[in-house]
Chain A
Amino acid sequence: MARAVPLRRKLIFTALAWGIGFVIFFPILWTILTSFKTEGEAVSLPPSFLFFDWTLENYGIVQERSDYLKFASNSVILALGSTLLALLIAVPAAWAMAFAPGKRTKDLLMWMLSTKMMPPVGALIPLYLIFRDLKLLDSHVGIVMVLMLLNLPIIIWMLYTYFKEIPGEILEASRMDGASIGKELIYVLAPMALPGIASTVLLNIILAWNESFWTLTLTTKNAAPLTQFIASYSSPEGLFWAKLSAASTMAIAPILVLGWFAQKQLVRGLTFGAVK
C-alpha cells in the first residue's frame, strides 16, 4: 500500500522540484532566449527576459559565417564512431568480468574507474605529442579513439552491472547447446541485455557529443565537431553573446531532442541495479 502523503507536503515538494529543475535548466533557457536577441539587447542591463524584439538574424549570420552542417556531421561521426568502437571492446570485456571473473577483476574495475578521476589536462601534453607524431591531429580516427578511450571505463562499468543481472546458467545452457562464445554473445547475451546496451549507448553518445576538452585541443577544422563551432564565436574579435548563443542552441538542439525522447531509457540505465 502506498503511503499517504499529506497534500501540503506534496505541494511543497512539487514546488521545490520544479524550482530546482528550473534553476538547472535556466542557463540553457537563457542561452536560447539570448540567441533571439540583438547583440545590443544581449548585453543590456538590466537584462530583458521575454520582452524584447525577437529576431532570427543571429541564426542567419551564424549559418553564413560557418558551415553548421560540417560541424554537426563531424559531431555525429565522432559520437557514433566512438560509441560503436567502445561497444565492440566493452561488450566482451564486461562479459568476461561478469561471467568469468578472476581474482583481480574488482581491482581492475576500480582501476579503470580511477582513470576517470584524473584531470584530463594531466594527459594533454603526452597525448598531444603522440597525436602530432602519428599525424592524428584534427583527424576523425584520432578523436574517435580519444573519445572512445575516455568513455570506455563508464561503458564497461555500465554493461558489467547489466550483465551481472543475467543468470550465468542461461549462458551455460547456450554453451551446452553448442554456441561458440561469439554466438553466445550475439544470440543470447546481447538480446537479453538490450535495454542496458541501449541506455549505455545513449549516455555515451551524449557524453561524446558534449565532450569539449579534447575536441577543442585536438581538432581545428577537418574533424572539428560542434564544440569547436561554439568556441569559434568566443573569438579574439570579442564576445558576441547573441551569436554565441545562437551557435550553442544549434549545437545542443540535436542532443537535447535525442535526450528528451530517450529520457525513460536513460533514467532506467542510470539507476539500474540501485533498487532490486
Chain B
Amino acid sequence: MGTISLRNVRKAFGDAVIIPGADLDIEHGEFVVFVGPSGCGKSTLLRLIAGLEDLTSGLIMIDGEDVSDVPPARRGLAMVFQSYALYPHMSVRNNIAFGLKMAGMPKEEIDAKVTHAAATLNLTDYLDRKPRQLSGGQRQRVAIGRAIVRQPKCFLLDEPLSNLDAALRVNMRVEIMQLHRQLDATMIYVTHDQVEAMTMADRIVVLNKGEIEQVGSPLDIYNKPNSVFVAGFIGSPKMNLITGPLATKFSATTLGIRPEHVELLASAGDVNGSIVLTEHLGSDSFLHVDCGEAGRLTVRAAGDYEGKPGDAVSLGFDRARIHRFDSQGKVLV
C-alpha cells in the first residue's frame, strides 16, 4: 500500500513561510505531479513528505500512520533527486545495493534484486562502472534503480528529468510512466514543466507561493482552471488573459480564452486586431494578434493559414470555452 495524507502541513524558516498549510490525499498507485513555478514550494513539500525537512506544524500520514516525526529511512519511501545524487565512490552495483545493505538484507537476496533491477533498467552491462563513467540518462536510471530495489511504498521524484537533454527527456518520461504501471506504486513527481505534468499525471497538484491552488486530473485542470494563476500556468501556448473593458463586457475582471478556442472571422467578432507575428508549426499556426485595448492575443489557426503580419482580423470567442475570473483571480461560476 502507499497512501499519503497531508493535514494542514506547514513549513516556515524563521519568519519566511514556505508552505502556509497544505491538505492533500494521495491514493495508492496514483501518479501525482506537483507543478508550479520555481520557488513555489513544491520541492519543499516533497522533502517534507520524505522527512528531509522537519514540519513546522501539521501531520503527514503514510498508510494511515502518522510519520511526522519518523526519520526518512523509516518512512518506507524512496527518492530520486534532480542531481541524481549517486554515490561517486561506489560502483553502479553498490549504488543500487546500498539501501538493501543498510537494511541488513542477506547478500544472495541483494544480488538477486540488483540483477533484476539492472535488467529492468537496461543497466546490466554497467554494473561494475562508477557513476562518472556513465552518461546522464544512465545515471538517471541508476538513481531510479536505487529507488526501485527497495520496493518502497511510494516514489518521490524531484525534477528527475531536468538535467537531461530534450530528446532523452521524452524517452525517460515514457520509461518512468511504464515503470509506474509495472510497479503499481504510488509516485509523487515534482516538476516546473507543465508539459511533463500534463502528460504523466493521474492527478496534478498546482502550487503557487506554497499554497495548493488546484488539484485535479490534467484535463480537469486544463479545462476548468479555478484561478487566473492555474489558467496561465497550464497550457502551451498560454491561455489569453484579458482585462479591461472587454472583460467587463463579459462581467469579469479577467477573461481567459485558450488560443484554440478563438475563431478567426471575416468580420463582426468579439474583438478586432491586426496580426503581428505568425508561428508555423506545420500542424498548426499560432498568430499573435494585437487587439489594442484587449492586448496581444494568441490564436491557433490551421497549419496552412496564409495571413501575414499587418493583416486585419476579427476574432470570435467560443462562448462555451471562456473562463471568467473575479478581482481575486478566482473563477466565476
Contacts and interface: CB of A to CB of B under 8 A. Distances in A.
B73 A178 contact: yes
A172 B85 contact: yes
A169 B160 CA distance: 13
Nearest to B76: A178
B299 to A, nearest CB: 44
B146 A177 contact: yes
Contacts of A177: 73, 98-99, 102, 146, 150
Contacts of A176: 50, 52, 72-73, 77-79, 99
A219 interface: no
Which of A167, A176, A178, A179 has the most chain B CB atoms inside 10 A of its CB? A176
A90 B232 CA distance: 51
B268 interface: no
A252 B89 CA distance: 36
Which of A167, A177, A179 has the most chain B CB atoms inside 10 A of its CB? A177
Contacts of B150: 177-178
Given A183-B102, A191-B89, A175 B71 contact: yes
A178 B85 contact: no
Contacts of B320: none
Interface in B102-138: 102-103
A169 B85 contact: yes
B73 A167 contact: no
A191 B78 CA distance: 23
B252 to A, nearest CB: 45
Given A179-B102, A183-B102, A174 B87 contact: yes
B71 A174 contact: no
Nearest to B102: A178
A61 interface: no
A152 to B, nearest CB: 27
Q: Main SS of chain A's interface residues? A: helix
A191 to B, nearest CB: 5
Interface residues of B, number: 23
A175 B73 CA distance: 6
Contacts of B98: 174, 177, 179, 187
Contacts of A191: 89
B229 interface: no
Contacts of A167: 83, 85
A174 B77 CA distance: 12
Contact of A170 (B74, B79, B85): B85
Interface in B256-305: none
Contacts, number: 59
Interface in A161-185: 167, 169-170, 172-180, 183
A192 interface: yes
Contacts of B74: 178
A188 B94 CA distance: 12
A175 B103 contact: no
B71 to A, nearest CB: 7
B73 A169 contact: no
Contacts of A192: 87-89
Given A177-B146, A192-B89, A172 B71 contact: no
Contacts of A170: 85-88
B250 to A, nearest CB: 48
A173 B81 contact: yes
Contacts of A178: 73-74, 99, 102-103, 150
Interface string A110-144: 00000000000000000000000000000000000
Nearest to A171: B85
Interface in A66-122: none
Nearest to A190: B89
B73 A173 contact: no
A177 B81 CA distance: 12
A196 to B, nearest CB: 13
Contacts of B72: 172, 175-176
A108 B98 CA distance: 35
A202 B150 CA distance: 40
A169 B83 contact: yes
B19 to A, nearest CB: 19
Contact of B73 (A180, A187, A188): A180
A187 B83 CA distance: 20
Nearest to B158: A169
Given A177-B146, A188-B87, A192-B88, A172 B81 contact: yes
Contacts of B87: 170, 173-174, 188, 192
Contact of A173 (B71, B79, B89): B79
A172 B85 CA distance: 8
B73 to A, nearest CB: 4
Which of A172, A174, A178 has the most chain B CB atoms inside 10 A of its CB? A178
Interface string A176-220: 111110010001100110000000000000000000000000000
Nearest to A173: B85
A96 to B, nearest CB: 16
Given A172-B85, A174-B102, 4 more contacts: A167-B85, A177-B98, A179-B73, A183-B102
19 contacts: A167-B85, A169-B85, A170-B85, A170-B87, A172-B72, A172-B79, A173-B81, A173-B85, A173-B146, A174-B87, A175-B52, A177-B98, A177-B99, A177-B146, A178-B99, A178-B150, A179-B102, A180-B73, A192-B87
Interface of A: 167, 169-170, 172-180, 183, 187-188, 191-192
Which 4 A-B pairs rank lowest in CB-CB distance, beginning with the nearest?
Answer: A177-B99, A178-B73, A169-B85, A173-B85
